[in-house]
Amino acid sequence: MAETFNREEFVAGYLAEAEEHLQLSGASLLRLEESLNKGEPQPRLVRELFRSLHTLKGLSAMVGIEPVVAISHEMETILRLADQSGSPLAARAIELLLAGLKAIEQRVRSFAKREPIPAAPKQLIQALTELVPVAGATLVRVQRLSLPAELQTKLSVSEKGQLAQGIGPNQRALRIDFTPTPERAARGLTITTVRERVGKIADIVKVLPGSVPKSADSPGGLVFTLLVVSAADDAQLAEAADIAADRLVIIAREAEPPYPPELPELEIVDEAPQSDSIRVSVKRLDDALESLSALVVSRFRLSRAVTRLRESGSDVRELTQLLNEHAREIRQLRTTITRARMVSMAQLLERVPMLVRGMSKSVGKQVRLKIDAGRAELDKGVAERIFPAILHLIRNAIDHAIELPAERERLGKPSEGTISITCFERADNRLELCIRDDGCGIDRVRVAKKANQPVPPDDATLLHLITRPGLSTQEVVNDRSGRGMGMDIVKRVAVDTLGGELQLTTQQGAGTAFTLRIPLSISILDSLSFLCGEQIFVVPLASVEEIVELGSANILRSPSPGKREVPISMLRRRDHDIPLVTLASLFKLQKIETQSAVVVMRDQQRFAFAVDKMLGQQEVVIRPLEDPLVKVPGVSGTTDLGDGRPTLVLDLLSLTSLMITPRQGARS
């Protein structure tokens, strides 16, 4: 019989499903923790979390990841019991469930990397198991409190939960009936004093007044019923309440066995989900993009062939019409494939709350995270590159910016710090992402001292300083920071790799904001091509602010070139002077006649590059330069314009450093 089962496709599907359920589970646990802090039970979240773990357990069993099955099974048991009891999960339970989720994630990653999968951690399994009797006892006790119906109806759900949750080994729930009498009052024993005495050795859940027939023992016909949870022995409780020990009534104790061996499962929906989307392997999307790239290059070649035919006198009107139609179809196909590769920023940032929680707890700080991602989307390739930079900025904010609770209160701030992430798509096909905190701000003097440099006068100079390789203000190396691999990584990813921008605003004592502007996609881009000497270059259209026609009247020669290897002029534009460099001089090419200038923006400042001739706008396929031996500043990749020769793609933003500092300074 032929083998029809494709294990690789099944594993890929499992990993995608597992990632989704891990993210859902993490989000549900964080919301449960938030609800616990507010005292708001969330039974629906408990059920959603159970369903995700139940599905993950079943999928993991199908691919043979037994450690994940074992961990998720223990977590399921706790959630099932919590759902049956109607009581909120305790803080200890949430902590262990989060630890269990992290352990599952680690093993799923090992499976994805084809590495040996660690066994389920014994200490974690034991801790989860030890929670089960408490949860189980809660279930039994809530349902089986030995109280008359008239007293049961006077208890709220939360009070029943209090009685249930307080029960454990050597601790039980009791009913104490205190009857006021003149003789007891003469000895100072009233319900108020008895309440105080009992409260010292027991947790009083509720005091219920009631009436009884008048008799010698209860001349007033009044009785007070105290419902308590205590580990004290009968003699102590009886003495505190001034009653005989045999008058104490145990209304619940830890059940034997600790919990029912079989509990009804939560309802699991077994119908196929109705959805208008399917999962597609990223490799398939990459293959589609590669095919599209080949089509773009073929179109360039076809366009060149039509041009040659036209120049030879041939009638190419029909070919030109077909070529234009072909261009429109390729653009539509590019849009379709590009949209298929897009991931939402909201989805990309789903893991961040869990990471922030773990980081803040490890340093003893209180941090609230606010995310506003809107409908912004990003190419998956760009998202994978920028996510580590986002995490680094968040880690910096927690480690360096947000103060400890006591320090924040001393400064008149809320004890809980805030980190906010906002992002939106700009009109120039770029994503603007801002990570802001309300911490202490960046200490310019301290940074300058660490870097052995003058104190930076503004935020742009400060950013240039803190993005120097190897600079760290952390005094002690820990598992999060202090190794000197800092903001230079963020700059390298956002600016050098993606051709974006990085901006800083900070205020001492008020907080810091880092703003990144990055292209939505870096594979197939709209670009401008131009001639410089006899060499054609290409720049991404998104990085260009404007094109300026040059004339002698609007160019001012720099009076003092200083140590610069490349002469810099000034371009007069709308009453502003823009630094201007001739690209032919910069690349040591033969200059023909500079006709235009390409203007770019960096750190809110404009810079211009003079070129010989603008050739036009077109789609290009960018191939990044991965080999460190051929990577040079100012060149981000290559493309093919249809002539079979590689054309360099320039990163003009990185070349602007030549206009800010001398060339030897740019190398430092």
Quickly count: other Cβ atoms within 10 Å of residue 427's Cβ.
Answer: 5
* Tokens (6 digits) for 266: 């939560």
Q: What is the pLDDT of residue 165?
A: 63
- 322-331, 393-402, 424-433 — most confident range: 393-402
Strands 605-611 and 576-582: parallel
Q: What is the pLDDT of residue 561?
A: 53
pLDDT (tens digit per residue) in 461-477: 898 888 887 676 655 44
- 176-190, 491-505, 521-535 — most confident range: 176-190
| Residue of higher predicted confidence among 16 and 158 | 16
| The domain made up of 145-252 is a member of CATH 2.60.40 | no
Q: What is the pLDDT of residue 419?
A: 95
Residue 244 has pLDDT above 70, yes or no: yes
Residue 564 has pLDDT above 60, yes or no: no
Quickly count: other Cβ atoms within 10 Å of residue 539's Cβ.
Answer: 25
Residue burial 46-62, b: 16+ Cβ < 10 Å; e: rest? bbbbbbbbbbbbebbee
Q: What is the pLDDT of residue 140?
A: 36
pLDDT band, very low/low/confident/very high, at 627 (cuts 50, 70, 90): low
Residue 668 has pLDDT above 50, yes or no: no
Q: What is the dihedral of CA 582, 588, 592, 594, to 10 degrees?
A: -10
Q: DSSP string covering 584-608, please?
A: HHHTT-------EEEEEEETTEEEE
CATH of domain 344-519: 3.30.565.10
Residue 139 has pLDDT above 80, yes or no: no
Residue 258 has pLDDT above 60, yes or no: no
Q: What is the dihedral of CA 494, 499, 500, 501, to 10 degrees?
A: 90
Options 3.90.76.10, 2.40.50.180, 1.10.760.10, 3.30.870.10; CATH of 524-667: 2.40.50.180
96 burial type by CB count under 10 A (0-12 exposed, 13-18 middle, 19+ buried): buried
Q: Distance (Å, rounded) from C-alpha 161 to C-alpha 279?
A: 43
- 11-25, 136-150, 295-309, 364-378 — most confident range: 364-378
Instruction: For the chain, give the mean pLDDT.
Output: 79
Q: Distance (Å, rounded) from C-alpha 178 to C-alpha 194?
A: 8
Residue among 525, 490, 488, 492 at smallest CA distance from 631: 492
Q: Which residue matches tokens 């390739």?
A: 381
* Mean pLDDT of the 109-114 span: 88
* CA distance readout (Å), 166 to 76, 231, 309, 464, 484: 22, 10, 90, 58, 50
Residue 86 has pLDDT above 90, yes or no: no
Q: What is the pLDDT of residue 405?
A: 92
Minimum mean pLDDT range among 68-77, 262-271, 405-414: 262-271
Q: Give the CA count within 13 Å in the CB-facing half-sphere of 37.
A: 5
pLDDT (tens digit per residue) in 577-623: 888 888 888 888 877 777 888 998 876 788 889 898 888 887 777 77
Torsions phi, psi for 204 (to 5 deg): -85, 115
Minimum mean pLDDT range among 79-88, 246-255, 297-306, 313-322: 79-88
Residue 43 has pLDDT above 70, yes or no: yes
In 3-state terms the chain splits into helix, strand, coil percentages (rounded to 5) of 45, 20, 30
Q: Distance (Å, rounded) from C-alpha 646 to C-alpha 641?
A: 8
Q: Which residue matches tokens 């009638």?
A: 315
Residue 220 has pLDDT above 90, yes or no: no
* Mean pLDDT of the 416-445 span: 89
Quickly count: other Cβ atoms within 10 Å of residue 279's Cβ.
Answer: 9
Q: What is the pLDDT of residue 630?
A: 60
Percent of the chain's residues with pLDDT above 90: 14
Q: Distance (Å, rounded) from C-alpha 620 to C-alpha 604?
A: 28
| Residue of higher predicted confidence among 430 and 263 | 430
* Mean pLDDT of the 518-523 span: 77
For residue 210, give every residue at least 6 positions away whose Cβ sits within 8 Å of its Cβ, in sequence order, or none. Answer: 222, 223, 224, 225
Q: Distance (Å, rounded) from C-alpha 95 to C-alpha 33?
A: 9
Quickly count: other Cβ atoms within 10 Å of residue 158's Cβ.
Answer: 13
Q: What is the pLDDT of residue 421?
A: 94
CA 203 to chain centre: 42
* Tokens (6 digits) for 546: 């404007």
Residue 91 has pLDDT above 90, yes or no: no
Q: What is the pLDDT of residue 53?
A: 87
Taking each helix axis from N to C end, the angle separating 317-341 and 282-311, rounded to the nearest 10 degrees, works out to 160
Q: Distance (Å, rounded) from C-alpha 104 to C-alpha 26?
A: 11
Taking each helix axis from N to C end, the angle separating 91-112 and 122-143, rounded to the nearest 10 degrees, works out to 140
Q: Give the CA count within 13 Å in the CB-facing half-sphere of 127.
A: 14
pLDDT (tens digit per residue) in 350-375: 888 888 888 888 888 999 999 998 88
pLDDT band, very low/low/confident/very high, at 336 (cuts 50, 70, 90): confident
pLDDT (tens digit per residue) in 379-420: 888 888 888 889 889 998 998 899 999 999 999 999 999 999
Residue 632 has pLDDT above 80, yes or no: no
pLDDT (tens digit per residue) in 566-587: 778 888 887 788 888 888 888 8
Q: Distance (Å, rounded) from C-alpha 129 to C-alpha 399?
A: 35
Whether 601 contacts 573, CB under 8 Å: no
Q: What is the DSSP letter of 187?
A: T
Q: What is the pLDDT of residue 277?
A: 55
Residue 197 has pLDDT above 90, yes or no: yes
Q: What is the pLDDT of residue 406?
A: 92
Residue among 349, 348, 350, 369 at smallest CA distance from 359: 369
Options 1.20.1260.10, 3.20.20.140, 1.10.10.10, 1.20.120.160; CATH of 7-142: 1.20.120.160
Q: Distance (Å, rounded) from C-alpha 43 to C-alpha 31?
A: 12
Whether 484 contacts 472, CB under 8 Å: yes
pLDDT band, very low/low/confident/very high, at 198 (cuts 50, 70, 90): very high
* Mean pLDDT of the 422-430 span: 81
